Amino acid sequence: MANDTVSAIGGATSAAETQWDLWEVFTQEGEGAPHEHAGSVHAATAEHAMQNARDVYARRGKVVSLWVVPTGAIIASAPGDAGPLFDPGNDKAYRHPQFYKTPRGVRGL
Amino acid sequence: MTTGKREAGDGKRDKVGSSVDGWVAGARPATATSGTAENPFFEYLLRLADDRLVLGHRLSEWCGHAPILEEDIALANIALDLIGQASLLLKLAGEIEGKGRSEDTLAYFRDAIEFRNAQLVELPNGDFAVTIVRQFLFDAWDVLVLERLTAASNQSLAGIAAKALKEAKYHLRHTAEWVRMLGDGTAESHARAQRALDDLWPYTAELFLRDAIDAEAVASGSGVDVESLRPRWRQTVDQVIGEATLTVPKDGFAPRGGRAGRHTEHLGRMLADMQSLARAHPGAAW
């Protein structure tokens, strides 16, 4: 499993048949803001998932939009791939914006 | 705060004393507070408030016991919405009454005979299907009532209705989806949902009964002719129940009397629980 390049989260789970599907919830807290992952809910249908997401994650916040996505539909990187996928970026300082000095007098960056 | 334009009772007592549909006459219990139509608008507000207070408390009994975490939160949310609406309505009722009773006094220091809720909402929660079907039948009615009340001549009531309507639309969306899932779910959930529908159906008739108090409220521009709402309610209910593959029961014997203070045995027990703290420690705060 750790060597798989990709794996579907929650796909082919061993959950009992009495367990509803898992859905990931994304909330947007203002026009133009990104939808951010808020958590997950169990639900039997898409409409049910939307309602549970609303009740659990959106009732007290300033949420203006909700996404719910079947957890199984998300393709995630495997933990074992973290090295090959992400490490190379760290030892090349010039890939980071901090590497570059900002010339004096430049404003509004 | 603006209060209703209608002055209590003046010249209206005779009219209210007679019965429009024949079911109120003689059924009115003699209580010191609200059993008479001395102040019809106060009485009318109690009906609106008590439906919500009692149903909200019933739903709150699920807190910590619902089938799953998400639904536990959902039911508690709906309960809080309803209790919040009741609080606003009882506050307004206290102002209309003009005897210095606060929303807490009205909620916690009236006995069952002084409550004006329909019997449907006081029934025990039963299983999850009973709770959901009861809530659905109420929500489908509630949305229609609140839509009308947003145009009430009493501005306070119109404002409360506008706020409550948003909440009620969500309640209906939630419970309608649940009715579909239960009815069109497993054999077990279908059977339980149908049984709940059969048991609760007779109690829905009371929601559409109109009497002199309603007539007064309608005449003053701050009431709803509930009888006229029935066709649209049936439309919503028939559609959802059809999608849920359930069968709409036949109309038959219909219990009534909640609006006049005659309740099932269940309300007294519920109030004993709901009111015990406030009565043991009057004025308690935290």
Within 8 A by CB and 6+ apart from A26, the residues are A35, A36, A37, A38, A66, A67, A68, A69
- A55 vs B74, B177, B181: nearest CB: B74
Indicate whether A78 pLDDT > 60: yes
The answer as to whether B160 is a domain residue is: yes
Chain A residues contacting B via beta carbons under 8 Å: 20, 41-45, 47-48, 51-52, 54-56, 59
The proportion of chain B whose per-residue pLDDT surpasses 70, expressed as a percent, equals 87
Answer yes or no: are the C-beta atoms of A11 and A60 closer than 8 Å. no
Averaged pLDDT, B220-248 = 97
Task: Tell me B76's DSSP state.
Answer: H
Interface test with A, best of B70, B73, B136, B171 (most A CBs within 10 A): B70
Give the separation between CA B202 and CA A5, rounded to whole angstroms. 60
Whether residues A47 and B71 touch (CB distance < 8 A) is answered with no
pLDDT at A9: 52
The answer as to whether A53 is a domain residue is: yes
Q: Which residues of B touch A54 (CB under 8 A)?
A: 170
Range of lowest pLDDT (A68-82, B39-53, B76-90): A68-82
The answer as to whether A106 is a domain residue is: no
Q: Please, what is the average pLDDT of chain A?
A: 82
Whether residues A47 and B77 touch (CB distance < 8 A) is answered with no
- A47 vs B73, B77, B177: nearest CB: B177
pLDDT in tens, B196-218: 999 999 999 999 999 999 999 99
Indicate whether B195 pLDDT > 90: yes
pLDDT at B223: 96
Q: Which two tokens stand for residue A13?
A: 């789970």
The answer as to whether A95 is a domain residue is: no
Indicate whether B15 pLDDT > 50: no
The answer as to whether A29 is a domain residue is: yes
Total number of domains in chain A? 1
Q: Which residues of A touch B185 (CB under 8 A)?
A: 44
Q: Which residues of B touch A56 (CB under 8 A)?
A: 69-70, 73
The answer as to whether B88 is a domain residue is: yes
The answer as to whether B11 is a domain residue is: no
Amino acid at A3: N
The answer as to whether B29 is a domain residue is: no
Total number of domains in chain B? 1
Answer yes or no: are the C-beta atoms of B111 and B56 closer than 8 Å. no
Residue of B nearest to A49 (CA): B70
From A7's Cα to the closest Cα of chain B, the distance in A is: 27
Query: Which pLDDT band, with edges at 50, 70 and 90, does B194 fall under?
Result: very high
CB-based contact, B158 to chain A, within 8 Å = no
Averaged pLDDT, B42-51 = 97
CB atoms within 10 A of CB B255: 16
CB-based contact, B36 to chain A, within 8 Å = no
Distance of CA B63 to the CA centre of its chain: 20
Nearest to B217 by CA among B161, B159, B160, B149: B149
Structural domain of B134: 34-246
pLDDT in tens, B129-145: 999 999 999 999 999 99
The CA distances from residue B129 to B123, B212, B252, B267, in Å, are 13, 35, 22, 20
Overall size of chain A counted in residues: 109
Give the separation between CA A39 and CA B59, rounded to whole angstroms. 26
Residue A27 sits in a domain whose CATH number is 3.10.20.520
The answer as to whether B3 is a domain residue is: no
Indicate whether B255 pLDDT > 90: yes
ipTM score of complex: 0.71
- A51 vs B68, B177, B185: nearest CB: B177
Whether residues B73 and A56 touch (CB distance < 8 A) is answered with yes
The answer as to whether A96 is a domain residue is: no
Q: Which residues of A touch B73 (CB under 8 A)?
A: 55-56
The answer as to whether A54 is a domain residue is: yes
The answer as to whether B126 is a domain residue is: yes
From A88's Cα to the closest Cα of chain B, the distance in A is: 41
Indicate whether B156 pLDDT > 50: yes
Answer yes or no: are the C-beta atoms of A43 and A49 closer than 8 Å. yes
Angle in degrees, CA A29, A30, A36, rounded to 5: 40
Q: Please, what is the average pLDDT of chain B?
A: 89
Indicate whether A4 pLDDT > 80: no
Q: Which residues of B touch A68 (CB under 8 A)?
A: none
Query: Which pLDDT band, with edges at 50, 70 and 90, does B18 fall under?
Result: very low
The answer as to whether A20 is a domain residue is: yes
The answer as to whether A37 is a domain residue is: yes
Residue B152 sits in a domain whose CATH number is 1.20.1260.10
pLDDT in tens, B62-86: 999 998 899 999 999 999 999 999 9
The answer as to whether B108 is a domain residue is: yes
Q: Pick the residue with more confidence: B72 or A99?
A: B72
pLDDT in tens, A11-28: 444 445 668 899 999 999
From B70's Cα to the closest Cα of chain A, the distance in A is: 6
Size of interface A-B (CB pairs under 8 A): 28
Averaged pLDDT, B75-103 = 97
Environment class of B7 (CB within 10 Å of its CB; exposed 0-12, middle 13-18, buried 19+) = exposed
The CA distances from residue B77 to B84, B168, B193, in Å, are 10, 11, 22
The answer as to whether B275 is a domain residue is: no
Structural domain of A50: 6-86
